[in-house]
């Protein structure tokens, strides 16, 4: 297969910024049309255009925040930039770098047209990146147990290099709430990303059951999935608050604020019906006058850590 557009030996200067911008951008894969074609969503653009006081956008907005990207003999995108200039856009560059993991110094990255050898390289790269994930995509993963109540399986452990299949961002270093495919493959995804996927599949495709982007099995109905995602998000927030409290108490103990180091302060706070670390946790919430009601004249300022 011959190249339909001229071969580029060097990356054009005007594409350098496009390549860098693609790495800094965040898009969501909401539909795969084939091995080399997909629909991606620009959530940030939608949020900027969304009128204040509305939770969801009308259907008329969907045309400007979703783009169909196709790779192969003709690199293409449905965005205004590509249709106007017929030049590689940020969406094509994002798919090439984030989805197919083409390195920054590869000459394939800035070609407007790919030959058969380059297409095979792209397909092979993505197959290798997803091999570990795909190996677990079965009805019941060996070693995983099923919960009797909802027939769900245990989540697959997150390993270094694992990415969310929707936004392609790293999972191990992410602090965002996570969920996982509870009925089939057990792979993790960001809660926010699943909401974006659910919105596309329910509104644009008219599906009542949301499909997992990896194993293509049902994640659940739209109504049940909303409840599940809210529960996963709440559980994540509770765990973060618990860890924060533990860190605060641990730091206080290391600084000498534990009971016994400040006898006068603890005596005064104990009169308020508090003791131990409970008094320490509530001390900062008291008005200044109330803090000194314990025994203000006997406070030994030399007892405070400097």
Does residue 3 sit in the same domain as residue 125?
A: yes
Q: How far apart are CA 187 and CA 194, in angstroms?
A: 12
Does residue 189 sit in the same domain as residue 99?
A: no
Give pLDDT tens digits for 170-229. 998 767 888 899 888 999 999 999 999 999 999 999 988 999 999 989 888 888 888 877
Has residue 5 been placed in a domain? yes
Q: How far apart are CA 181 and CA 217, in angstroms?
A: 9
Domain extent, residue 287, equals 256-298
Does residue 149 sit in the same domain as residue 128?
A: no
pLDDT value of residue 160: 86
Which residues on neighbouring strands pair with residue 34, listed in sequence order?
Answer: 37
Has residue 108 been placed in a domain? yes
Q: How confident is the model at residue 91 (pLDDT cuts 50, 70, 90)?
A: very high
Q: How far apart are CA 144 and CA 156, in angstroms?
A: 8
Question: Could you identify the residue written with the tokens 């109905």?
Answer: 221
The candidate with the shortest Cα–Cα distance to 99, out of 171, 200, 29, 18, is 29
* Contact in structure between 303 and 264 (CB atoms under 8 Å): yes
pLDDT value of residue 58: 41
Q: Is the pLDDT at 75 greater than 90, yes or no?
A: yes
Mean pLDDT, range 235-260, rounded to an integer: 66
- 64-78, 183-197, 249-263: least confident range: 249-263
Q: How confident is the model at residue 80 (pLDDT cuts 50, 70, 90)?
A: very high
Has residue 247 been placed in a domain? no
Does residue 122 sit in the same domain as residue 203?
A: no
pLDDT value of residue 104: 92
Which residues on neighbouring strands pair with residue 77, listed in sequence order?
Answer: 69
Residue 39: helix, strand or coil by DSSP? strand
Has residue 25 been placed in a domain? yes
The CATH number covering residue 157 comes to 3.30.40
Residue 140 structure tokens: 């019941």
Does residue 47 sit in the same domain as residue 166?
A: no
Provide the domain count of the chain. Answer: 3
Does residue 114 sit in the same domain as residue 100?
A: yes
Residue 268 structure tokens: 């005064």
259 versus 27: which is more confidently predicted? 27
Residues 6 or more apart from 104 whose CB is under 8 A from it? 19, 97
Does residue 128 sit in the same domain as residue 101?
A: yes
Q: Is the pLDDT at 50 greater than 50, yes or no?
A: no
Does residue 75 sit in the same domain as residue 172?
A: no
Has residue 142 been placed in a domain? yes
Has residue 284 been placed in a domain? yes
Give pLDDT tens digits for 123-167. 998 887 776 555 545 444 444 444 445 567 889 999 888 999 999
Does residue 15 sit in the same domain as residue 115?
A: yes
Burial 80-104 (b: 16+ CB within 10 A, else e): ebbeeeeebbbbbbbbbbbbbebee
Has residue 280 been placed in a domain? yes
76, 100, 134 — which closes off a domain?
A: 134
Tell me the percentage of the chain whose pLDDT exceeds 90: 42
Q: How confident is the model at residue 56 (pLDDT cuts 50, 70, 90)?
A: very low
Residue 43 structure tokens: 């959530």
DSSP H or E segment with residue 218? strand 218-221
pLDDT value of residue 143: 45
| Residue 71 Cα to chain centre, angstroms | 25
Residue 148's alpha-carbon distances to 52, 84, 119, 181, 185, in angstroms, are 44, 56, 45, 16, 17
Range among 11-20, 41-50, 209-218, 262-271 rated most confident: 11-20
Q: How far apart are CA 41 and CA 167, in angstroms?
A: 10
DSSP H or E segment with residue 70? strand 66-70
Has residue 246 been placed in a domain? no
Residue 222 structure tokens: 């739209």
78, 100, 134 — which closes off a domain?
A: 134
Angle at 143 between CA 141 and CA 145, to 5 degrees: 80
Q: How far apart are CA 306 and CA 114, in angstroms?
A: 66
- 6-10, 82-86, 128-132, 186-190: least confident range: 128-132
Q: How confident is the model at residue 248 (pLDDT cuts 50, 70, 90)?
A: confident
Q: Is the pLDDT at 27 greater than 60, yes or no?
A: yes
Q: How many CB atoms lie within 10 A of CB 138?
A: 15
Does residue 144 sit in the same domain as residue 93?
A: no
Does residue 160 sit in the same domain as residue 96?
A: no
106, 134, 162 — which closes off a domain?
A: 134
What is the distance in angstroms between the CA of the first residue and the CA of the last residue of the chain?
Answer: 75
Does residue 271 sit in the same domain as residue 149?
A: no
């Amino acid at each position: 297969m011959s190249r339909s557009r001229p071969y580029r030996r060097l990356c054009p200067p005007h594409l350098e910024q496009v390549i860098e911008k693609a790495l800094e951008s965040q898009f969501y894969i909401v539909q795969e049309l084939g091995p080399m074609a997909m629909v991606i969503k620009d959530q940030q653009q939608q949020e900027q255009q969304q009128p204040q006081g509305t939770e969801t956008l009308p259907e008329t907005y969907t045309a400007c925040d979703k783009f169909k990207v196709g790779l192969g003999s003709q690199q293409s995108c449905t965005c205004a930039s590509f249709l106007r200039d017929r030049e590689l856009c940020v969406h094509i560059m994002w798919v090439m770098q984030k989805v197919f993991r083409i390195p920054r110094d590869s000459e394939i990255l800035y070609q407007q047209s790919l030959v058969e050898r380059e297409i095979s390289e792209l397909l092979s790269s993505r197959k290798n990146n997803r091999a570990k994930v795909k190996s677990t995509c079965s009805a019941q993963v060996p070693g995983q147990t099923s919960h009797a109540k909802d027939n769900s399986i245990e989540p697959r452990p997150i390993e270094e290099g694992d990415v969310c299949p929707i936004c392609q961002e790293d999972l191990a270093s992410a602090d965002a709430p996570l969920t996982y495919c509870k009925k089939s493959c057990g792979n993790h995804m960001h809660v926010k990303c699943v909401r974006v996927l659910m919105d596309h599949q329910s509104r644009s495709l008219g599906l009542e059951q949301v499909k997992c982007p990896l194993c293509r099995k049902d994640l659940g109905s739209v109504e049940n999935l909303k409840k599940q995602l809210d529960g996963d998000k709440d559980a994540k927030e509770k765990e973060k608050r618990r860890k924060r409290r533990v860190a605060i108490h641990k730091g206080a103990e290391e600084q000498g604020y534990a009971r016994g180091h400040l006898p006068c302060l603890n005596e005064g706070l104990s009169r308020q019906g508090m003791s131990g670390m409970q008094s320490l946790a509530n001390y900062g919430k008291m008005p200044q006058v109330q803090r000194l009601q314990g025994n203000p004249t006997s406070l030994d300022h030399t007892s405070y850590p400097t």
